[in-house]
Chain A
Amino acid sequence: MTQPQTLTLNGRELAFAPGETVLEVAQRAGSFIPTLCHDPRLAPAGACRTCLVEIEGWRRMAPACATPATAGMAITSESGRIDRHRKSLMALYLADHPEGFVGSELGAPDQVYQLAERYAAPTDWPRMDNIRAGRPLDENPYILFDATKCIACARCTRYCDEVEAVTAITLAGRGSQTTIATVDNLSLLDTTCEMCGGCIDTCPTGAMAEKIPLLTAARPERELTKVRTTCNYCGVGCQMDLNIDPEGNGGRGKVVKITSPAPGTTTNDGNLCVKGRFAYDFIDHEDRLTTPLVRGADGQLQPASWSEALQRAAEGLLGVAERHGKDALGFISSSRCTVEENYLVQKMARAVFGTNHVHQCAAT
């Protein structure tokens, strides 16, 4: 076995595994290096130049995300030179970004503004004549592309290509016109796009954003509460954060957006699919049952109180057992409900009514 290899970061000696990048070593050690185009799920692109660091013996600064760690490397991630670089880089990004921190209240925080503030970037540099094309006519219901906030870091297109592998969006154009396009500028609905929303999740600026929450004027991001839960669709068990407007729905709370936990933290590695990320309208749908119903003498279902409905349910089930025996009852539980609820249904069938006729729709 070879000795574990080490390098130094700002004078600190750190071990690293073969294949790790300078950024990965730094992040593992809890040392902050700013990034914009980096996503651990994607191959390094080294495109945004935000993560440049100094390496002893190297004339030029190097992108930490795309530089493999080597033994004995001496890295500096905070210095006057790096600070000047970050300032002017962020000033350049600001010159190509909406003025006055537009839209930073709604939607995910724009990391360009955050980093510009952090490094006190000048805001008065001559503005670029931004003619990056958007797709304003794309009537897909979920994914909004705000071309003015795009920094062409290609996280979204790389995600679409490398992770979701449908390659629905691509970089197009050159220079300041570089934009995120689809074939023939089609609506995402007409492309191979599967509406997973991974482009939104990976976008560092909010140029890719959830259309519905933005257009329905949800509350500012900071007023939303996040509740970590498990998706209720397929059996993968993706972890997700319900973004809740606590005052929505007359105070009972409203789910206004669903976001994924950070990559590398849960089974779904920061990913969600179209259902997990977007199919939550049903929660507040007007068709939800809101009151117990009991079938009346006229054969119609009538609203009833809980005590009346439960009494009727209990009498009905007990009555069948009395007239036809306990095994004349069948209990159908649900793989959509929780473990605890399934436990209670089978316990009710077995311990309360004495039958093993209990099953659910998915036992293969």
Chain B
Amino acid sequence: MAGLVTTFGAGAMTNSIGEIRDADFLFVIGSNTTEAHPIIAMEMKRAVKRGATLVVADPRSIWLTSMAERHLKLRPGTDIWLLNAMANVIVTEELYDEDFVAHNTEGFEAVAETVRAYTPEAAEQVTGVPAEEIRATARQYATTRKAGIYYTLGITEHSHGTDNVYALANLVLMTGHLGHASCGMNPLRGQNNVQGANDAGATPVFLPGYQRVDDPAVLAKYQASWGVELDPTPGLNLNEMMKVAGTQLKGFFVMGEDILLSEPNVAHLEEGLNGIEFLVLQDIFLNETARFADVILPAACFAEKDGVFTNSERRVQRVRKGVEPPGEARADWEILQDLARLCGADWDYGDPAEIYAEMVKDAPKFAGISHARIEREGGIQWPCASPDEPGTTFLHEGGILRGKGLFTPVDYRPSMELEDSEYPLLLSTGRTLYHYNSATQTRREQGAGFKQPEAYVELHPKDAGRRGIADGDLVELLTRRGNLRCRALISRQVRRGCIWMPFHFAEARANLLTNDVGDAVTGTAEYKVCAAEVKRLSEQPAPVAFRGSYYAVEGPGPGKVDELPMAPVSAADPGD
């Protein structure tokens, strides 16, 4: 998001979900869309069936690659090489939009200079993606008007995540794929209200509506509205907070997050939490973090309260109360109000509509939106500055929000931890269709239990064979930060030398393994690349079934591995 704000002046999907079906070229990078955003994937499928070209860039074969024209199966963490090489092709073959670059952007020369060294041939050496495929993708992207980029955490969850975003934005700016339908730069949000939480100012740098806390005019406005002195120094981001838990930070208020399951390098975090003095937790279930909590406040879930969520395409939509919360549980906003009053505030909100009205009063981007209006019209997409405006389907129509789009030259920096003789595999983590985040909700669901009953790691057949690991074996997974046990799923979806694991399972917390080195700008941790090793355990429990797994070697179906011939491994195997 920080990258997007710098480049375009707004941190959100530039275009809308409904426009995807009309796109002619889709570049999906670092997004397993069918599993993480199934409904957006349906729009992509619809576009492809209509005749659009889909190119997927991902270290892993994902469902979408089966319908893609091209799959750029790059080595994890080498995105900058791939993207800069695409820019190199666009610059050297003069495929960029001269007019758009001249009138709507600044800094093009610097990027053109930087990408000169990133030839497709050199990129092939680093990324493993053939130079001709990079060329073809760059040409198609640059010469198709309705060409959209779609990405998620495969781009941002790196120590160079913000650089990745800049590299993508450079492509968008040089081709002018901005300001009309079915194009743009589209981060797909992982959680229901990621967009809304950022919109609302739950960030150390921004007050509501992306207004900086260190902007004196903004600060003065909020000091007047709230009637208190405010601190003009940006605070610590989440990654930084986790690192100084117990040292600089002695008390926490945590709402609706299991930091011990979700944050990287949790062993270090646990140590830190032992040194804190006080922690309040507000949630719907007891979670791992509860072990460190002094007070736990039971909250209502989405079906039990009113409010709004803002989706990936900036659409503000109502959440409506359908049932009463169980026992004494209460809506988070009611609890927050009571707590704030006990701490000296004079809050007196009657309902969420009043809170929303207060928020938009000082945040021009949302000023035209209200609960009453959503009730009448359905969801409204910001920016929407006044009640007479319809909202905004795609951004930057008739000019980029920040005035001129800012090119940012970026150079490749290797991921912070690469494979070596001791830890020869590269581990990435991610989501699956059947579970959700820390799975406090979906593991209480029987369907998910049938499809993915236990934690697992995907392993290439060759890497498995060398270690004597068979499909379904219980293995130990080790990194420099910790180890855990899970099932091995032998899969050709991962590159050789790479392994992949979902992060949903509390008994095999992938984040015991991941690296907490953060992106320099956002603090987002490097969940997507770290060095690891897998070992078969000598004692094997009873097998479990992962039914109909799309990613297993033998594909969906009830067959067992030993009943089906393994794909022959020939000398010409490209080593994927």
Contacts and interface: CB of A to CB of B under 8 A. Distances in A.
A335 B194 contact: yes
Contacts of A235: 37, 188-195, 311-312
B259 A332 contact: yes
Interface in B256-284: 256-257, 259, 262-263, 277-278, 280, 283-284
A301 B295 CA distance: 8
B387 interface: no
B250 interface: yes
B244 to A, nearest CB: 9
A312 interface: yes
- Most chain-B CB neighbours within 10 Å: which of A244, A294, A343? A343
Interface in B180-204: 187-204
A295 interface: yes
- Most chain-B CB neighbours within 10 Å: which of A230, A254, A293? A230
A137 interface: no
A140 B447 contact: yes
Contact of B226 (A253, A291, A351, A361): A351
B101 interface: no
Contacts of B320: 227-229
B229 interface: yes
B561 interface: no
Interface stretch (B131-139, B166-174, B337-345, B483-491): B337-345
A334 B447 contact: no
A212 to B, nearest CB: 9
Interface string B285-317: 110001001111111011111111111110111
Contacts of B34: 194
B255 A341 contact: yes
B359 interface: yes
B238 A192 contact: no
Contacts of B332: 337-338, 341, 344
Given A232-B301, A283-B323, A345 B230 contact: no
B376 interface: no
B520 interface: no
B277 A320 contact: yes
A333 to B, nearest CB: 4
Contacts of A242: 303, 322-323
B42 A330 contact: no
Contacts of A359: 202-204, 235-238, 241
Interface string A172-196: 0000000000010011111111111
Contact of A339 (B277, B283, B359, B442): B359
- Most chain-A CB neighbours within 10 Å: which of B37, B39, B284, B315? B39
A361 B238 contact: yes
A356 B214 CA distance: 11
Contact of B447 (A164, A195, A319): A195
B352 A340 contact: yes
A324 interface: yes
A235 B199 CA distance: 14
A347 B228 CA distance: 11
Contacts of B193: 235, 335-339, 342
Contacts of B259: 332, 361
B326 A290 contact: yes
A336 B191 contact: yes
A294 B295 contact: yes
B401 interface: no
Contacts of B294: 294-295, 312-313, 316
Nearest to B305: A338
A259 interface: no
A267 B324 contact: no
B414 interface: no
Interface in A72-106: none
Given A190-B548, A278-B447, A335-B192, A293 B250 contact: no
B337 A344 contact: yes
Given A244-B323, A288-B298, A316-B251, A334 B190 contact: no
B126 interface: no
A320 B304 CA distance: 32
B319 A229 contact: yes
Contacts of B51: none
B379 A348 contact: no
Given A237-B317, A266-B379, A267-B311, 6 more contacts: A234-B36, A288-B285, A316-B295, A339-B316, A342-B196, A354-B231
Interface of A: 140-142, 162-165, 183, 186-196, 225, 227-239, 242, 244, 248-249, 252-255, 266-269, 271-276, 278-285, 287-295, 301, 306, 309-314, 316-321, 323-324, 326-364
30 contacts: A191-B548, A191-B557, A234-B37, A235-B37, A244-B322, A272-B39, A273-B433, A279-B447, A281-B446, A288-B298, A289-B299, A293-B293, A301-B296, A313-B297, A313-B339, A317-B343, A319-B277, A328-B248, A331-B252, A333-B202, A336-B256, A336-B257, A337-B256, A338-B306, A339-B356, A350-B222, A356-B204, A357-B235, A357-B249, A364-B522
What 10 pairs between A and B have smallest CB-CB spacing?
A290-B327, A237-B311, A235-B189, A338-B307, A356-B235, A334-B256, A320-B251, A253-B323, A289-B298, A273-B38
